[in-house]
Structure 1
């Protein structure tokens, strides 16, 4: 009886996890360190540098699943044509997303190219519009899956025939996102910006079964964010931000703050970072980090606060990010004026 109860608990947890994963796209708690996946208008939207490169790794539900969800993101973007466009420039970039979900071997691979146009509005504000186009692929190993008609009341028997048949275990499609950003920076110590983007504008088909109209099309996803950089001391810069996304009947709200503390005096070559975020109804996310000569390392951990904490002991997800920013003229010392607070 006890064994059966444990199996039912595992099934219940699995259903909660499956519902969450199906409801939303791949996501990172450190949304601010994955700018191109948040909004294509962030491409080349780099107030304190000319280019940046970044990578993220997320490991989720390792405490309740033999095969946890693992997500990897790699991106790069840069500002171009700064001298050819009066009071503006283009941003070009791209990113790759790779995800492995659960024991069924569900694998996702997404490759996107991004383009954005940035236009200064006077000397203290900036307006940006951008889009990205990408190719996505999802594949699954059906031999690793268990279905309800294979459950005998105590165990899942993979040798029992199932009526569930996948029409295709490998699907690919093209995808498109669009977005806008606005930034306001009245002085060298204050910087605000916000953005809104729409993902899956073309609503591509994604199903391993027979296409069934709107039910097998990816729902449009809306993302909005607010961000600020406030230099409150010669050694301290505060970065409060908020993130909201909605897709189909699912939504996510993240609020939080992180701070940079300058350890090296003039130039800010060495900085300590710490922050705390809250994903409404789901998790508390503390973050720590370190920056050395424009290379930043950050680590965050999702401590589950939802009902799932009763099964995973609040052990949600760990996330690691590395980001490098730079100027084209660093070697010669010819760097442009940044438009946000800095040390």
Structure 2
């Protein structure tokens, strides 16, 4: 059922709860007051019916049917068309879900077309019905209450984003390899949140000017000032979050680079140490090779070797081994190989 709640109000009190749109139109014509029609993802025929009855501008009707609109406020003669981007923080998934709400406000009607679970318009209706004096101010009062509920529901989103940012700051210094992806995803959510909230400033200011032009009750001016103040603070927090995430990404990149440099330095030191060991091993191998070479030559026992029957051949061979080894040791020592 797309018709969630449907009522006709006179002097701030619910006069009737029609079961259908046609009954709403008849009651409104008969009793006066204003109708507040709440719908959830309605069929095109229902939207066309409302558009025909209340003479809604065809451009606003097309926007409502197509959806996926940016936050905006448009006036068509004495009818306001408002697109709002509600948001809610889903704690189990640690993400922000964005919705879309279309509001038509005329002299004797308010039509809300909701495309997501938020904002909770049942709370808005209950609040307004519990304060007949405020509801008696007419459709503009309902529009104010919708803005107020929307902004109130941004508070848990702010808290959720802030908690996620705190976790990211810890993960950065813990060296979590997935932190870069999480920073990117969270930055995207913050940007989307800013796209939803930043237009509200201009919308509320334009609404205040319209209230002054069309002689709307001064009390609603004060209420809008309060909502605008909350919106300004929310936008400041959003800008702060974005700056923190930009800085976090820079810090993460710096730490990754530093870790890579440390790893490269460690590998270089290890390679250098290995190189020194190779030098030492090669040096001692060369030193030991000298006497081995001499011994090998004189150990061949050929018949016609000139030193074979020499009286000093053996001491000479030993001396040659020692001298060769000593010369090589000196050379390697001088070149810091040993």
Structure whose alpha-carbon radius of gyration is higher = 2
Name the one with the larger helix percent.
2
TM-score, normalised with respect to structure 2? 0.23
Higher relative contact order (CA 8 A, sep 6+): 1
TM-score, length of structure 1 as denominator length: 0.23
| Higher strand content, 1 or 2 | 1
